Structure 1
Amino acid sequence: MPEAMAPENTDSSDNQGPTLADARSFSGRRLIEFLIVLVAIIAFAAHLHALATLAVVVAIALMIVLHEFGHYVTARLSGMKVSEFFIGFGPRIWSVRVGGIEYGIKAFLVGGYVRIAGMTNVDEVPPEDEMRTYRQASFPRRVLVSSAGSLTHFIIAIALLWVIFSGVGVATAGNGTVIAGVPSIPHVESPARKAHLPVGATVLAVNGLRNPSETTFGKIVERSAGVPVHLTLKVGKRVEYRTVVPVSATELAKSDPAYRSLHGAGVIGVTIEPTTTTLTDSFFGGAYHAITTFGTVAWSSVTGIVDHFSPHGIATYAHEVVHPSSNPTSARAQSRFESPIGIVYLANYAVGTGLGAVLELLFLINVFVGVFNLFPFLPLDGGHVVIAIYERIRSRKNRPYHADVMKLMPLTYAVLTIILVIGVTALYLDIVHPIANPFR
């Protein structure tokens, strides 16, 4: 908003307003302080060995900035007057004016904004700029500018999927078996521990049967209580041979009641899971599957958001806030909104899993943010799209219609309140009951 000029006073320099040199000095000090804080954050992340997690968080913040950049580019290409483009919110750290547009950085790097002249009928614009306002632009240009942020997210999401499908590859379950763990049993040395079965080993053969599935491996062990079972294992790049003698689950149940349900079947004391195979698509095949998969996930996001705000969804979320799920892997605990703290948790989980998980997380965030912003309520982008459509329907030749957005302010405040409540409750849940690792 315009700043009031201080009255000229030639009698006392103490009463004069700040000079241009003062403003530049102040901006410079803010920028230096800001850079010091950034360096401190990087150093702290390095101390915690979390630079990769910090990089993912920065990538997420950058995606939000690209959302606003989408609005900025389409507004400029549409001939609209843009006065500001800032990264972040809060106190101004640094800015520069180029070509009549102020570019800058603000203190809290959790997004950004672009200021376009005449976004609503109540915005005051100088008469000479009226024809370059958003409200005077054609219907297609208004829809394009309003939806550009979400379209940017969708383009990024498809590009990320393309990289996953054609570059990184997708892990799929194979037909083989992997020894995922060798849990301890109280007061008993399990057959697996006696045989020194290594965690992570792939079972190449059991009793001469090559590449056994989980089911086959389990059945052979179950009917072999007291009978030696010969295993061929791949441990790293080596092939090793082990002989293990399953014991009756009844015997182990004396020390661990969890084995009672196996009713005397043979047990060696391991957890198993299927082998995984990484499949990559062709360059063009990956593009096709990225587009089709994006459509499926985007529609799931739409239905998921609608379900969250249904009476049942609201009741479920309220119950989760009051009584956080004791099972962090339950669907109720997993399908909730995430605060910035939750996003950091997810970024850390993804980094620990691998590049594919990181790209998947970035893909899902882009889809969600893009879809959520298109819901038809102000101040979301979808609210501006709906207003543009309504104005187009009400307009007549040579008599454009402009909706009175002031009548929508109660609904806008209600939407902002809902977003605030979701943000606060999500922050609470992420502090007292962090989400489990979804990439396991």
Structure 2
Amino acid sequence: MGAYLLGVLLFALGIAVTIALHEAGHMLTARAFGMRVRRYFIGFGPTLFSRKKGHTEYGVAAVPFGGYCEIAGMTALDEVTEEEAPHAMRTKPAWQRIVVLSGGVAVNLLLGLVVIYGVAVASGIPNPYADTRPVVGEVVCTSDQRADGALSECSGAGPAGDAGVEEGDRILALNGEELADFHQLRDTVLELPGETVTLTVERGERVSEIPVELDSVTRYTTSGDTYEAGSIGLASSPVADAVRQFGPVEAVPATFAYTGQLLQATVEGVLQLPAKIPGVVAAIFGAERQMDGPMSVVGASFIGGELVERSLWDSFWLMLASLNFFLALFNLLPLPPLDGGHIAVVIYEKIRDVFRRLRGQTPGGPANYEKLMPVTIVMAALLISLGGVVLIADVVNPVRLFG
């Protein structure tokens, strides 16, 4: 229990540091361009501690789930004093404003890269160059699942074996769709009970198409309900060189390659986020919590505790890197009040001014944020509501990696 609590606290601290550095990215770039930074705070709500140095008030607020960097004149609605006017953000060139608005995102990406590089050199990361396409490790028979979770006894070669699939075969595609790994093969087969599928199989120098009639087997959900699932009768061979340690030089391209894979997965996760919210709501009322669903900082800290409890420090650090990538990409969504929303406004201003010049008009000045306020309020309410729902789910029905 002591190791678990240590892991929870360490991951929570890692999140706090991530937020602090994200906001520092905004603050430092703003100062570099001569903008006035009024406040730099970690957390929201009532102030616990603050200290003013120069023109900036530094502080910590009571609710630690976030932070902010207040820059004078960030929008046209922000009133500035006569002394602040020359340093107002809205008076600066568009490219400088975009750099400042992207400063936090850049820091998150850099942090993720640094963490992954450190793990790659110190102990090893999932090998971005490994061939993960499924290789048959064993051809087996298929059977129903019993209520206690065990599989019933079975006999015979199984669907794949009867069709001619052999141990050592590499499965390249299923019904013409290329397979990235065995998990994709398994997940697809589960949804096709009793159907006939075509495997593209590589055996030595030869590639052939093998039709396989899937079995229909009984499986149980965690809540005890039964359903019919497809079964092909194959077990995967372990991926060769799945985790690899790199030297200081070769770790650089490997870090970028693995980061690219993580960013692609993160983009897919962000796009799928709205579809996963109903599952989170259902989990509050006792439904099974999905492993790949959204988590709050509390839920992520619980996972960090589980990893430290089992001395899985590599996974601990890689999850922290993944969190940085999620924060970076989520903040880039072109929706106010996210950083991406403000960047979208700056880009709109530049495009608008191009058309104004073509018509012989002068630039239009800062965008009217009053028209954006309804959208900003709605989005802020949605984000707060989403955060509350996920937080409640993490407390009453948290994701558990190890049961």
Question: Into which bin does the TM-score normalised by the smaller protein fall?
Answer: 0.5 to 0.7
Aligned equivalents of 1:127, 1:90: Cα separation in 2: 29
The alignment partner of 1:321 has SS state of helix
Q: 1:168: which partner in 2?
A: 123
Say if 1:433 and 1:117 are closer, same or farther in 2 by CA, change over 3 A: same
Work out the CA distance in 2 between the residues paired with 1:436 and 1:81.
45
User: Given the two structures, how large is their TM-score scaled by the length of structure 1?
Assistant: 0.62
CA contact (8 A) 1:394 1:401 kept: no
What secondary structure does 1:403 align onto? coil
Report if aligned partners of 2:273, 2:294 keep a CA contact under 8 Å in 1: no
- Distance verdict in 2 for CA 1:88–1:327, change over 3 Å: closer
Give the 5 Å matches for 1:207-356: 215=137, 258=150, 260-263=152-155, 278-309=243-274, 313=275, 317-322=277-282, 327-328=288-289, 333-351=290-308, 352-356=310-314
Count of aligned pairs: 309
Can you list the C-alpha shifts for 1:99-123, whole angstroms capped at 9, x where unaligned?
2222222223333221100010111
Which of 367, 370, 374 is the matching residue for 2:325? 367
2:381 aligned residue (396, 414, 417)? 417
Match of 2:24 among 59, 69, 72: 69
User: More relative contact order in 1 or in 2 (CA 8 Å, sep 6+)?
Assistant: 2
**CA contact 2:23–2:67 (8 Å) conserved in 1:** yes
Q: Which has the higher helix share?
A: 1
User: Judging changes above 3 Å, is the alpha-carbon distance between structure 1 residues 108 and 261 closer, same or farther for their aligned structure 2 residues?
Assistant: same
Amino acid at match of 2:384: L
Deviation of the 1:158 alpha carbon: 0.9
- What CA distance in whole angstroms lies between the structure 2 residues aligned with 1:341 and 1:399? 46
Give the deviation of 1:137 after TM superposition.
0.5
Q: Secondary structure at the match of 2:61?
A: strand
C-alpha distance in 2, partners of 1:412/1:374?
15
8 Å contact 1:74–1:145 — kept in the other structure?
yes
Task: Specify the SS of the correspondent of 2:67.
Answer: strand
Residues 88-147 of structure 1 show CA distances to partners (whole Å, capped at 9, x for unaligned) of: 222222222222222222223333221100010111111232121110011111000001
Alignment of 1:397-416 (within 5 A): 399-416=363-380
Q: CA contact under 8 A between 1:121 and 1:403: conserved in structure 2? A: yes
Closer, same or farther: CA 327–274 of 1 in aligned 2, 3 Å: farther
Residues 89, 109 of structure 1: 8 Å contact kept: yes
For the residue of structure 2 that corresponds to 1:115, the secondary structure is strand
Q: How far, CA to CA, are the matches of 1:394 and 1:257 in structure 2?
A: 62
- Residues 95 and 325 (structure 1), Cα distance of their counterparts in 2 relative to 1, 3 Å cut: closer
Check whether the contact 1:337–1:422 (CA below 8 A) recurs between aligned residues: no
CA distance, structure 2, for counterparts of residue 257 and residue 142 of structure 1: 57
For structure 2, list consecutive stretches of 5 or more residues without a partner in the other structure. Answer: 128-134, 158-235
Task: Tell which structure's C-alpha radius of gyration is larger.
Answer: 1
Q: Kindly provide the CA deviation profile for residues 162-216 of structure 1, in whole angstroms up to 9, marking residues without a partner as x.
A: 11222221367xxxxxxxxxxxxxxxxxxxxxxxxxxxxxxxxxxxxxxxx9947
User: Please, what TM-score do these two structures have when normalized by structure 2?
Assistant: 0.68
Distance 1:136 1:275, change over 3 A: closer
Gaps of 5+ in 1: 1-44, 173-212, 223-252, 266-271
Alignment of 1:376-395 (within 5 A): 376-395=334-353
Instruction: Return the letter of the residue paired with 2:297.
Output: P
Per-residue CA distance 1:368-403 (angstroms, 9 max, x = gap): 011000100111000110111111122358635211
Cα contact 2:280–2:389 (8 A) shared by 1: no
Q: Does 1:116 align with 2:74?
A: no
Q: Find the aligned partners of 1:405 and 1:117 in 2 and give their Cα distance.
A: 15
Q: Which amino acid aligns with 1:383?
A: G
**In angstroms, what is the RMSD of aligned CA positions?**
3.5
Write the distance in 1 (CA, Å) between the matches of 2:90 and 2:268: 32
- Percent identity, aligned pairs only, is 29
The residue type equivalent to 1:317 in the other structure is I
The residue identity in structure 1 corresponding to 2:296 is S
Report the secondary structure of 2:293's partner residue.
Answer: coil
